[in-house]
Structure 1
Amino acid sequence: MLSALILLLNFGGAAALKICSFNIKSFGGSKISKPDVRDIIVESISRCDLMLIMKIKDAKGKAFDQLMTHLNNRSRTRANEFSSVISERLGRKSYKEQYAFIFRQKMLSVKSVYQYPDTQTEDEDAFAREPFVVWFSSPKTEIKDFVIIPIHTAPEAAVKEIDELYDVYQNVSQLWQSDNFVIMGDFNAACGYVPKRQWVNIRLRSETEFVWLTGDKLDTTVKTSTKCAYDRVVLRGEKMIEAVNPESVEVFKFKDNLASLSRRLWP
């Protein structure tokens, strides 16, 4: 199951910041060329200050730029409201995907980016799509900077990849001087992909300094036949954890909220 939902969280201060995660099913030229589909995606992104986009599968490299153009052209009074940063194409063999972050420029800026190399001794190539890590500056919020580690796991390797995110955190925390971390994305962390008996083998779960905002019973799927908490948000850092209200996490059911637009995206 591929998630096509948005996970929202807010942390306060001088201004609240809405951070979201969206796995767009096989985003590329076909979707961006359909006005009704494009409108759903643009409307969903515009609801957030910072959006992680997953499963960009555009080999030609044009669809994401077109998405940004449509997003920034939607309002004449707020030209170039959003900026972005995108990874290289990631994956084994011929199958490739990209991560991207889209953010409001008046709220955020990028301090640094880091493509996790996934070359650990005796554990090389642990990820199908290595995390593209971004360090953000957020001067208007209580938390002035934070790091996001994104992930879209391979479903059949979800247990291993979620566990390996602990190593990614350790690596990045040594590289950058930030205490505030958000690990988020499509973990495939439920149902048949992560059986209950396997949670004890996942360090990101067993180490108590990590706080999971998304519970195991949260439904982040779009099909009515499934109810699985595939998408997750995990926090690390005392100030970050204190700044976030756990009840602010939501699943945006765009098929319900934007029903008139959504039929051709996920029929």
Structure 2
Amino acid sequence: MSPRLAALLLLLSAHGALGLRICSFNVRSFGESKRENHGAMDVIVKVIKRCDVILLMEIKDSNNMICPMLMEKLNGEKLVSVKKSYCYPDDEDGDVFSREPFVVWFQSPHTAVKDFVIVPLHTTPETSVREIDKLADVYMDLKHRWNAENFIFMGDFNAGCSYVPKKAWKNIRLRTDPRFVWLIGDQEDTTVKKSTTCAYDRIVLRGQEIVNSVVPNSNGVFDFQKAYKLTEERALNVSDHFPVEFKLQTSRVLTNNKKSITRKKKTNSSHR
């Protein structure tokens, strides 16, 4: 696999019944040396196991060994299936993206929203503003090609600190259009180093159905350093980024909520 590509892994774990956890993680230079670092690999596998669908970035694996190795460690069935996939052509109006988004349309019978499109993005820091803004064009292109309504844009946008200063947000359509809903705010810190506080990694939704299907308070940054009691040095051996994540409600939760509402209505009517 090219070091410039990201990989989407489909996973199942026991917590899937409580909601489909979707994650994005820049593992930073995930190649042979990191694969042989047992301490780092142990944490990486733990992080991935928490998620049902995860976007991994910076996989540097020309021999195609890392993904099969991970899948061997991560046993399970699929909670989602691939409906369609597509690599956005970045040559029609200039070469904007440093890594063209490889888009995947998923189907999920277990969630309240039955299908959703994931659009990954890993920008080059110096061109972050232009690349994030260009996602609006990717959205329009996908709407033209596919009959899809629910979209997830996520990845290492480098959307913070000096790369995207406050004055630059007005030039980013993904921010100025209120129909794009940002789940990871500017105040978040997705960096491991204590000396930095930057919201580089982001998740953005488009589509009222998927926005309504987000489990309340499930969106945020997963601090694996704190969760697994690591020193900063050990955490940095894993990555200099924390994963970002959110959960989609299961169809069972939605059904139970509807039943609960129905019962309340009947109870209220009986007292009248």
Fold similarity call, TM over 0.5: yes
Residue of 135, 141, 163 corresponding to 2:111: 141
Deviates more, 1:216-225 or 1:50-59: 50-59
CA deviation profile, 1:115-137 (whole Å, cap 9, x unmatched):
111122xx321100111111111
Contact 2:192 2:232 in 1 (8 A): no
Contact 1:15 1:140 in 2 (8 A): no
**Amino acid across the alignment from 1:159:** V
1:260 to partner: Cα distance: 5.0
Structure 2 equivalent of residue 251 of structure 1: 221
2:26 aligned with 1:54, yes or no? no
Secondary structure of 1:247's partner? coil
1:240 to partner: Cα distance: 0.9
Contact 1:28 1:57 in 2 (8 A): yes
4+ residue segments displaced more than 4 Å? 260-265
**Unpaired stretches in structure 2, ≥5 consecutive residues:** 1-15, 238-272
Secondary structure of 2:149's partner? coil
Secondary structure of 1:178's partner? coil
CA deviation profile, 1:40-89 (whole Å, cap 9, x unmatched):
111100001111101112222222222222223xxxxxxxx1xxxxxxxx
Q: How far apart are the structure 2 equivalents of 1:14 and 1:141?
A: 9
Q: How far apart are the structure 2 equivalents of 1:243 and 1:154?
A: 31
Residue of 71, 76, 85 corresponding to 1:113: 85
CA deviation profile, 1:219-242 (whole Å, cap 9, x unmatched):
111000001111111110011111
More helix by share: 2
Q: How far apart are the structure 2 equivalents of 1:128 and 1:260?
A: 33
**Amino acid across the alignment from 1:117:** P
Percent of pairs with identical residues: 53
1:213 to partner: Cα distance: 1.2
**Unpaired stretches in structure 1, ≥5 consecutive residues:** 1-12, 73-80, 82-103
CA deviation profile, 1:98-156 (whole Å, cap 9, x unmatched):
xxxxxx50x21111111111122xx3211001111111111111000000001010000
Distance 1:246 1:127, change over 3 A: farther
Contact 2:23 2:54 in 1 (8 A): yes
Structure 2 equivalent of residue 91 of structure 1: none
Secondary structure of 2:162's partner? helix
Structure 1 equivalent of residue 34 of structure 2: 31
Larger-gyration structure (1/2): 2
RMSD: 1.9
Structure 2 equivalent of residue 157 of structure 1: 127
Contact 1:24 1:53 in 2 (8 A): yes
Aligned length: 222
Secondary structure of 2:95's partner? coil
1:247 to partner: Cα distance: 2.3
Q: TM-score, normalised by structure 2?
A: 0.77
1:263 to partner: Cα distance: 4.8
Secondary structure of 1:208's partner? coil
1:246 to partner: Cα distance: 5.4
State how 1:42-191 maps to structure 2 within 5 Å: 42-72=45-75, 81=76, 105=78, 107-120=79-92, 123-191=93-161
Q: How far apart are the structure 1 equivalents of 2:19 and 2:56?
A: 21
1:250 to partner: Cα distance: 2.0
Q: TM-score, normalised by structure 1?
A: 0.79
Residue of 151, 157, 172 corresponding to 1:202: 172
CA deviation profile, 1:143-193 (whole Å, cap 9, x unmatched):
000000010100000000000011111111211111000101111001000
Q: How far apart are the structure 2 equivalents of 1:258 and 1:31?
A: 18
Q: How far apart are the structure 1 equivalents of 2:201 and 2:17?
A: 29
Structure 2 equivalent of residue 77 of structure 1: none
